[in-house]
Structure 1
Amino acid sequence: MKPEPSSEAFWLDQRPHLAIIVPFLTLLTPFVAYLMKRDYPPMSPEILLILAGILCVSTMIGLLRYAGGRRVYAMSVGGFLAAAADYLIAWVAQSRTITLLVIFGVLVVLVRRFEKTATLVITAFLCVFVISTVLLNGFEKESDPASAISHVDVGTDGPPRLIHLILDEHLGIEGMPNDTEYAKALKHKIKQFYQRYGFDLYGGAYSHYLDTEDSIPNLVNFSAEGVNLAFSTGDRPPYVLQQNRYFQFLKSLDYRIHVMHGDYIDFCSSPGVELHSCTKSGWFSLSNVARLNIPVLTKTTTAIAAFVTSYPRYEAILDVYEERIRPALLLRGVIGPVLDRQSLWTKRRVHPFSVNAMVAMETLSARIQQLPRGHMLFAHLMIPHFPYVYREDCSPRAISESMDDMEQVPLELRTTEGRAARYDQYLRQIGCLYVKLDEVFQSLQSSGMLGDSIVIIHGDHGGRLGLRLPA
């Protein structure tokens, strides 16, 4: 005897909207968590387009149930829920594949046999999760003292205004190659820039360190320690400074210190120093794509690819295909597609998101204009790292043109041609940087502030584009 339509297994027959909402929420939940963590504007056109796509997929799955596909519906919802748990819950993500398969099987049975209970519980739980994630993200952004800008008291007393800019990944000027006409012209342009604004230029300056987490902590502690992470702690950004003698010294001179940084090194928590204001932004964040002047469809594709490739088991699936499935197909005379490791869909991390330095220039200029004597602005500006997002006129490159990090290229595959191509993109982006810097300093000069300011500009390491990494 078949069960009555009102029973648990057939409860959704009279509620098609819920049959669509459940898969929609299971797909939406991890995506919202991913977006909120990266501060991507949720109402941007590309995100609305993605949400419309999720709704379309969910509608198809919901309608499939009414075409006799109850089992497929249960497997789809169970699969989405298992993947969401794997993405969001640490112990699930760290478990073996067999554990995830067991979770998937249990969820399929629950959705298939107990439709009413499963639907109501899943809908309620995921709605609460999504709403709380969005609200918590908004609350943290408003309450975070690091993002709140204090009122700057205008005055004429105190030490000279101090502006200290670190241009992360800016190569020493004399270290720039001379093997192309553009490189020669850029080197000349940079020298003219510093001469025009009255700087003492040390073009041969270079860093002892390959990595930012060593170079800048040593800098702000007047040190040249050879030990890795001598003045900072942490396994990943943001690295926490154990000491900041530079800020402590400036504090002893009665400077009020303001910080702008890309959240790679946490200057906001410098020990022994109370900052007047501190502003931070994601140094390597998907949200930076929203700021690029590129087509909405490109942003949409990039956002989806970044989300998908952030799923840890996704790369494992690609590896299984390349190492097992494709060779097995070849043995049977079937040629499977070769994965393009430069594709947005196959990279473990999608790279073209560190655009803070260029985007931050307008904020930097406005902040400098508000800076009176006795105040110091310390800005750590992350020039886009691998790939190089901007051309020399500051128009963004198409993401498909972007080249991967040289460090990600195996030694045996590194070529002089590849290095030359990367160096050309790197130098042209440096050209854009000086277009932006020139705007900042023209404004500073026209306001009469340049003459009574101390300005320090330097990098922290070069482009790291060698065919071999230094020993």
Structure 2
Amino acid sequence: MGAIADLSLDETNFVELGAGDKFLHRVKSNRLHKGFVNSGYDVSVIQTDFIDYCHGIDELTCETYSSFGDNSVFYDEPFWLRLQIAGIALHQKLAFGGRSEVKLYRSAAFVYFTLSDAERLQFHNFAEPKTVKRVMDAMPSRIKQMQNGDVLFVHLLLPHFPYVLDRECNLLPISKWGYSQQYYGSDPMDPVYYEAYWDQVACTYSLLAPTLDAAAEIEDLTVVIHGDHGPRLIWYKTKVNPLYMRQTILAIREPGRPQRLIRQPQILQSVIPIVMAPYLGEP
């Protein structure tokens, strides 16, 4: 992501921020967005708190959503499901926190929760996919407020574990929620990981379609949407091809260019500079 912002192959183009900062990282050089601004475009950026693209560029209009998800996305779910989720969240806070006063809770709850969903879902970002869905559901309305000459840049945190959405983007039963194999240490070839990932890929594509259709209604609007990283289903467990780690989606809507789908893997750090060069006044 830092390389994309720098329009280069420099994958070290980011700074890791300290505890207490709103963001985990920020890009050091942002030639992409500065280039759009200097060329006279009004640029809107929708980003996560994992990496800040907007630092030091006052002309950008920026909106940030949590990379760990927002549990308020579950408010429209049935009461019994919200109660289960609240219990899991409370268990996570108490069982995996570092404060000494929760040691008694850990001991008392160990036997029960070892056999429960709360223990299996010990990572607290299970709200992330539905949070991204909420962001994307609002995107067509947001785009309708934009004008000719605007640019919209979106860091889309899907498809991404945990896998809690089915192919139609409906919330799965808690018993079917899961993460990539890196967290379980079980058989990396178990098809359940791959099926869950590809279901969430299908969901992601269904969320992209209304956004791109809305963008097509504005003649001179540019939209760039890129994902986060590759499947990483066996991340940290097995040495894998770097492409497997990094393959993600890239959707670009350019004024005057017909739609097409490129299925062959591309290096985003190489594609972005070529596609964006005409907008940035570069050859």
TM-score (norm. length: structure 1): 0.43
Deviations 1:8-65 (A, max 9, x none): xxxxxxxxxxxxxxxxxxxxxxxxxxxxxxxxxxxxxxxxxxxxxxxxxxxxxxxxxx
| Partner-residue secondary structure (3-state), 1:220 | helix
Higher relative contact order, structure no. (Cα contacts within 8 Å, ≥ 6 residues apart): 1
Give the CA deviation at 1:291: 4.9
Give the letter for the 2:4 counterpart.
L
Give the CA deviation at 1:298: 2.5
Correspondence 1:239 to 2:13 = no
Residues 386 and 404, structure 1, Cα contact 8 Å, conserved in 2:
yes
Distance 1:403 1:341, change over 3 A: farther
Question: Which protein has the larger Cα radius of gyration, Structure 1 or Structure 2?
Answer: 1
Deviations 1:354-401 (A, max 9, x none): 133211013222221111122211111212632212101111012221
Alignment partner, residue 45 of structure 2: 259
Alignment partner, residue 136 of structure 2: 361
Structure 2 unpaired stretches of 5+: 243-283
Alignment partner, residue 220 of structure 1: 5
Residues 6 and 32, structure 2, Cα contact 8 Å, conserved in 1:
yes
- Comparing both structures, which one devotes a greater share of its residues to helix? 1
Residues 259 and 279, structure 1, Cα contact 8 Å, conserved in 2:
yes
Q: What is the RMSD computed on CA atoms of the aligned residues? A: 3.3
Correspondence 1:425 to 2:223 = no
| In structure 2, C-alpha distance between the alignment counterparts of 1:400 and 1:315, rounded to whole Å | 30
- Comparing both structures, which one devotes a greater share of its residues to strand? 2
Correspondence 1:383 to 2:158 = yes
Alignment partner, residue 468 of structure 1: 238
| In structure 2, C-alpha distance between the alignment counterparts of 1:307 and 1:433, rounded to whole Å | 29
Give the letter for the 2:197 counterpart.
Y
| In structure 2, C-alpha distance between the alignment counterparts of 1:274 and 1:223, rounded to whole Å | 23
Give the CA deviation at 1:464: 0.5
Deviations 1:96-120 (A, max 9, x none): xxxxxxxxxxxxxxxxxxxxxxxxx
Within 5 Å, which residues of 2 pair with 1:90-239? 216-225=1-10, 229-234=12-17, 237-239=23-25
Give the letter for the 1:366 counterpart.
S
Distance 1:458 1:278, change over 3 A: closer
User: Among the aligned pairs, what percent are the same residue?
Assistant: 23
Alignment partner, residue 247 of structure 2: none
Structure 1 unpaired stretches of 5+: 1-215, 326-335
| In structure 2, C-alpha distance between the alignment counterparts of 1:405 and 1:371, rounded to whole Å | 37
Q: Out of 376, 390, 399, which is 2:174 matched to?
A: 399
Deviations 1:195-220 (A, max 9, x none): xxxxxxxxxxxxxxxxxxxxx01111
Distance 1:292 1:370, change over 3 A: same
| In structure 2, C-alpha distance between the alignment counterparts of 1:249 and 1:316, rounded to whole Å | 51
| In structure 1, C-alpha distance between the alignment counterparts of 2:113 and 2:89, rounded to whole Å | 20
| In structure 2, C-alpha distance between the alignment counterparts of 1:415 and 1:244, rounded to whole Å | 37
Correspondence 1:268 to 2:54 = yes
Give the CA deviation at 1:280: 1.2
Distance 1:220 1:255, change over 3 A: same
Give the CA deviation at 1:405: 3.6
TM-score (norm. length: structure 2): 0.69
Correspondence 1:305 to 2:91 = yes
Q: Out of 187, 199, 219, which is 1:414 matched to?
A: 187
| In structure 2, C-alpha distance between the alignment counterparts of 1:292 and 1:352, rounded to whole Å | 16
Give the CA deviation at 1:349: 2.8
Distance 1:286 1:368, change over 3 A: closer
Q: Which moved more, 1:453-462 or 1:388-397?
A: 453-462
| Partner-residue secondary structure (3-state), 1:366 | helix
Residues 45 and 153, structure 2, Cα contact 8 Å, conserved in 1:
yes
Distance 1:382 1:441, change over 3 A: same
| In structure 2, C-alpha distance between the alignment counterparts of 1:379 and 1:291, rounded to whole Å | 25
| In structure 1, C-alpha distance between the alignment counterparts of 2:184 and 2:51, rounded to whole Å | 26
